[in-house]
Amino acid sequence: MNASTLTRGSQAGKRKAAPAIEGAARAGFTARGVIYLLVGLLALQIAFGDGGKQADQGGALQEVAGKPFGEVVLWALAVGLVGMALWRLSEAVFGAAGPDGAKAKKRLASAARAVFYGFVAYSVISFAAGAGGSGSSDGKSRDATAKAMELPAGQWLVGVAGVVIGCAGVWMAVQAVRRKYHKHMRLGAMSHRVRQAVDVTGVGGGVSRGLVFAVAGGFAVRAAWDYEPDKAKGMDDTLRSFTETPAGPWLLVLIAVGLMLFGLFSFAMARYRKV
């Protein structure tokens, strides 16, 4: 069996799975949009003095659970995130959309995203099932950091992980500013106003999301440097740290609005993303 035969088999498998893959991807982007929109809203409340809620995935799920039909929405989010993980897995197996989608680098990136969204989906499923799978991101970050530091060369592992997360955040922000998402979207299906709105949400949301990741990575590096796991921060504590800057709560307001924009951008991706 030669390479061309394998390629044809991969393409045939992808065509057969295309409708299901597309539906899974669009459901996943919708679920991601809901979560980021809620996290942004919770961060905005914290910026204006309501510090009793956690601005992370766990806080977003708690908000959903407290609303009418909340349990139904939670399971819908879980299904959407499972769909996102399966879509990324299909990209790793069959290749992503686009001329370079079958390259090894793209497949590895898709595999990493599949693992990430798999963990997120598991966390939401655990929460929806009442197993408490989506607790505070801050507690999880500290616990994970402490366990990692107990390993041989654990301090170095945490430091490298922090650098990777920080660099990923910078990369997200730069990619957003450069509007690299254009190559993944069906721009011809958008009106001029829709495209402008997508750019506002894509750039503003991507920069805010990237900044949060970059700062969280910086806290992980600091925790490793000082050998103090408690200095690692999840999304909630990372967002709260923006209020400690000279800009006060107004920087958090900007970040919160940006995360809400990213939620809206995810909805646009659900509609216009090439799958």
SS3 letters for the chain? CCHHHHHHHHHHHHHHHHHHHHHHHHHHHHHHHHHHHHHHHHHHHHHCCCCCCCCCHHHHHHHHHCCCCHHHHHHHHHHHHHHHHHHHHHHHHHCCCCCCCCCHHHHHHHHHHHHHHHHHHHHHHHHHCCCCCCCCHHHHHHHHHHHHHCCCCHHHHHHHHHHHHHHHHHHHHHHHHCCHHHHHECHHHCCHHHHHHHHHHHHHHHHHHHHHHHHHHHHHHHHHHHCCHHHCCCHHHHHHHHHHCCCCHHHHHHHHHHHHHHHHHHHHHHHHECC
Considering only 72-76, 100-104, 153-157, 248-252, which range has the smallest mean pLDDT?
100-104
Q: Using one digit for the tens of pLDDT, what is the confidence trace for 164-223?
A: 999 999 999 999 999 999 999 999 999 999 999 999 999 999 999 999 999 999 999 999
Gap between the Cα atoms of 51 and 170, Å rounded? 28
Identify the pLDDT of residue 12: 53
Tokens of residue 37, six digits: 């929109």
Residue bearing the bigger pLDDT, 150 or 181: 181
Tokens of residue 72, six digits: 């139904």
Closest C-alpha to 207, from 246, 237, 236, 181: 181
pLDDT band at 134, cuts 50/70/90? low
- pLDDT at 91 > cutoff 60: yes
138 to 55, 145, 254: CA distances (angstroms): 10, 11, 21
**What value does the mean pLDDT take over residues 257-263?**
97
**What value does the mean pLDDT take over residues 87-113?**
84
Q: 253, 49 in Cβ contact below 8 A? A: no
Q: With left for phi above 0 and alpha for psi between -120 and 50, is residue 69 left, alpha or beta? A: left
Considering only 43-47, 132-136, 156-160, 175-179, which range has the smallest mean pLDDT?
132-136
pLDDT band at 6, cuts 50/70/90? very low
Tokens of residue 175, six digits: 């990619």
Gap between the Cα atoms of 30 and 22, Å rounded? 12
Gap between the Cα atoms of 2 and 64, Å rounded? 51
Q: With left for phi above 0 and alpha for psi between -120 and 50, is residue 130 left, alpha or beta? A: left
69 to 31, 34, 56, 64, 73: CA distances (angstroms): 16, 15, 21, 9, 6
Q: Using one digit for the tens of pLDDT, what is the confidence trace for 14-51?
A: 555 577 888 989 999 999 999 999 999 999 999 988 76
Identify the pLDDT of residue 1: 46
The number of residues in the chain equals 275
- pLDDT at 13 > cutoff 60: no
- pLDDT at 125 > cutoff 50: yes
Closest C-alpha to 173, from 145, 141, 207, 146: 207
Considering only 9-18, 44-53, 56-65, 236-245, which range has the smallest mean pLDDT?
9-18
- pLDDT at 93 > cutoff 80: yes
Identify the pLDDT of residue 3: 44
- pLDDT at 154 > cutoff 60: yes
pLDDT band at 135, cuts 50/70/90? low
Identify the pLDDT of residue 72: 92
Residue bearing the bigger pLDDT, 133 or 225: 225
Identify the pLDDT of residue 26: 93
Q: What is the average pLDDT value for the chain, to the nearest integer?
A: 87
